[in-house]
Structure 1
Amino acid sequence: MDKASKILVFGAKGLIGAALARRLRQGSFKNLILADSDTLELDNRKKVYDFFAKTRPDYCIIAPIKEGGIVANIRYPAELIYQNLSAQTNIIDSAWRVNVAKLIYLASSCVYPKDCRQPIKEEYLMSGPLELTNAPYAAAKISGIEMCKAYNLQYNTRFISVVPATAYGPGDNFDLNTSHVIPALLAKFHAAKINNTPYVTIWGSGKPKREFIYADDLADAVLFLMRQGRLTEVVNIGTGVDVSISRLAQLIKRTVGFMGKIKFDNEKPDGVARKLLDSGLLFSLGWRPRVSLAQGLLKAYGLYKKSIC
């Protein structure tokens, strides 16, 4: 991949897609092609193929098309499975048809089994039942991984799937109905601080542990892998560090400067008890994250305050 390569990024308006576009521009890549569901009907096979045939990209990255946190997964399971399945199917097939040199498909850590051994190795994929709260979305993502594998096997393509930890950062979604945990908590604690609310209520027990990665670090890792030679077909991208939701809430409370209490709603589901990726393969290639969770939360909160001014 050189500076003159045509690089197509899907999901370019989302958190991860925007981070990828930002990093590519910072790296002086000039021939960027950015697409998302607002500019292209991703569930229309012909329109997606025609787009590929017209733009003829050398490389393709499929950032998340439709995603969300636990609330979104409970409320919109049909939308999550349909929009992701249809879009990724059309994109992967079209990439093969126009001879894209390399494709990276971003999956999700929810593809791993509910009661998975920790830390989670790539080989644990499909080794047990999924967490029910996000099974439809996970099934769509697993289908994308398997489609990449199938095309590699039959057509000798170079399609790689990456499984990232939960990303957060610039351009995040702060809608409490569809956001992931960090932007949701930043918005909740900020509102409580401004309104002098005595406490913030958080879903579940606070006991589950999660791993988070700053969006720009994730983008760096994806581009790092794009520049590598032939790799295994699935690669985890994480930080190697997880945190309980309870501890995360305390960190965000301190970051925001909220002085009230934290309450946990034990009637709400926790989801998987722990999700810590084993990123040993990626680390062995020489990549490491740069932004710690504490640093990332400060950055994210600063960006959130600017976004609501």
Structure 2
Amino acid sequence: MTTMTDARPRIFVAGHRGMVGSAIVRALAARGNAEIVVRTHAELDLCDQQQVQAFFASERIDQVYLAAARVGGIHANNTYPAEFIHQNLAIATHVIHAAWQHGVQHLLFLGSSCIYPRLATQPIREDALLTGALEPTNAPYALAKIAGIMLCDSYNRQYGTDFRCAMPTNLYGPGDNYHPENSHVIPGLLRRFHDATSLGTSHVSVWGTGRPLREFLHVDDLASACLHLMALPRDDYRQAAKHGFLNVGSDDEVSIAALASLVAEATGYPGTIGFDPSRPDGTPRKRLDCQAIASTGWRPRVALREGLQETYRRAVADGRLAAQPLASAA
């Protein structure tokens, strides 16, 4: 098997068609010193243990970026809780176990900031994990991601593997999901304001009160953080990741109301913005403490305003915001 110091390790990016996986593939391709291995869902169902075992047995994988996941916003998490916990648990369990069985020493598991308690002290440090109740709207997804962290830690302790974990904040950027009901907040708002601008609608109503505070990170910044973390010497990573994982964020936050204004600006929407307090807000505030990853030398580079404008331009150019009924947008 290839070692970390060899010129072209075989790197499996699980979930390469998703926003995070595709960003990691772009970053690896730009670096140019790896053989990138990808499979579509039709070619490899990560929820099927036998398929995962057969894949690792035949492909001689050296490194894994585990970015595959069932993801969505508040509406999707509330509507499909069984799928969110089952599929994400299955993906983590099957891939991490097979990676160990077939000699993969280097794996990066991608989690989410929703692993933390709903009312965690802000900004949220890594040691806040499991210190309080989760946000009910995404608890099934969060529990699956917590299990992934524990899997990596357990295999590291028992078998000496080098499985690492990154917990990103709320993400946006190229390749996002703009489904009118199952998207996250930024693509959902981009969809709403784009449709309103296209249809000449004079008023857009946003879910919730607009008061919750959120932190957002461009997905290309996350990809750079992932490659950075995988390249760290083991002792340096362990010294920074004292709790088995590292937060990855932008070290900035914005209210949903202010975010809506920035999205309106990016899309050229000229109308008014209102808020619907009958809809859930979710966690009132969620900002990550990123001192640990900063201590390793990594910093984000994409500012939110510029990132939103570029994300919108690319979504329009790629046809991801083709007309859909505004009334069904969440």
Q: Could you tell me the TM-score, scaled by structure 2's length?
A: 0.91
Aligned to 2:227: 223
Aligned to 1:272: 283
1:188 to 189, 192, 198: 192
Measured in 1, the distance between the counterparts of 2:52 and 2:186 equals 33
Measured in 2, the distance between the counterparts of 1:192 and 1:29 equals 45
Give how far 1:34 is off.
Answer: 1.1
2:129 to 119, 125, 129: 125
Aligned to 2:160: 156
Specify the SS of the correspondent of 1:49.
helix
Aligned to 1:83: 87
Give how far 1:261 is off.
Answer: 0.8
Give how far 1:276 is off.
Answer: 0.4
Give how far 1:192 is off.
Answer: 0.3
Give how far 1:38 is off.
Answer: 3.1
Aligned to 1:293: 304
Specify the SS of the correspondent of 1:61.
strand
Aligned to 1:302: 313
Is structure 2 residue 180 aligned with structure 1 residue 176?
Answer: yes
Measured in 2, the distance between the counterparts of 1:47 and 1:254 equals 46
The range that moved more, 211-220 or 228-237, is 228-237
| Matching of residues 1-309 of structure 1 within 5 Å | 1=4, 2-230=6-234, 231=237, 232=241, 233-308=244-319
Does the CA-based 8 Å contact 1:211-1:275 persist in structure 2? yes
Specify the SS of the correspondent of 1:263.
strand
Q: Could you tell me the TM-score, scaled by structure 1's length?
A: 0.98
Give how far 1:61 is off.
Answer: 0.8
Please tell me the residue identity of whatever aligns with 2:274. Answer: K
Does the CA-based 8 Å contact 1:69-1:181 persist in structure 2? yes
Please tell me the residue identity of whatever aligns with 2:310. Answer: K
Specify the SS of the correspondent of 2:285.
coil
Does the CA-based 8 Å contact 2:193-2:204 persist in structure 1? yes
Measured in 2, the distance between the counterparts of 1:279 and 1:35 equals 32
Return structure 1 stretches of 4+ with deviation > 6 angstroms: none
Measured in 1, the distance between the counterparts of 2:34 and 2:145 equals 30
Does the CA-based 8 Å contact 2:68-2:91 persist in structure 1? no
Give how far 1:76 is off.
Answer: 1.1
Unaligned runs of 5+ in 2: 323-330
Unaligned runs of 5+ in 1: none
Measured in 1, the distance between the counterparts of 2:105 and 2:161 equals 8
Percent identity for Structure 1 against Structure 2: 44
- How many pairs are equivalent? 309
Specify the SS of the correspondent of 1:8.
strand
Specify the SS of the correspondent of 2:309.
helix
Please tell me the residue identity of whatever aligns with 2:36. Answer: L
